[in-house]
A = this chain, B = another copy of it.
């Protein structure tokens, strides 16, 4: 469709999608504006009509990552609307899965690749929305006596941080083989989460 017009039609999105693919295939180090442009079939500086600089494209890709993360989180959690314990379990695992299945996207979202997050409102908003979903689950767990009483947002940072830390260390190869030889990532994650859970443990 619209194969060879001078104007692309939807270049901005095409660039984002091309960027996502290159990121997945070649990693953060392999992501260049020029490759993205070539993949989208335009000249090397066409992207500047839609993004003021490379950071801005990275922000857009990261934002897309957050939307996907939110969607997967929500999809994992929604089926258990009246079972907070399972919501916590499913949501946590969805987060870990997302990180492990989209290593490089996870990286640009969370690893300082984007230098001035605050400058990108869409990024901030999509990340805020994701956090809100976590807070929802935490609050439900508190109401059901699955998590201890505490300011929900504070507890949410704790839970999210726990997941985020473990999966980050795992992706970095920083988890000792002494541990990895004996436990799966799933076991490590749930072992950690269970420290926070009151009553019956997760699995």
Q: Which residues of A are at the interface with B, using a C-beta cutoff of 8 A? A: 27-29, 103, 107, 110-112, 115, 117-118, 127-128, 131, 148, 150-151, 153-154, 157-158, 160-166, 168-169, 171-176, 178-179, 182-183, 188, 191-192, 195-196
A106 to chain B, nearest CB (A): 9
The copy count of this chain in the complex is: 2
Q: Are A173 and B118 in contact (CB under 8 A)?
A: yes
Residues A150 and B112 in contact in the complex (CB < 8 Å), given A161-B169, A162-B161: no
In the bound assembly, the distance between CA atoms of A96 and B179 in angstroms comes to 23
Residues A179 and B153 in contact in the complex (CB < 8 Å), given A112-B111, A112-B171, A195-B148: yes
In the bound assembly, the distance between CA atoms of A103 and B175 in angstroms comes to 21
Give the nearest-CB partner of A150 in chain B. B191
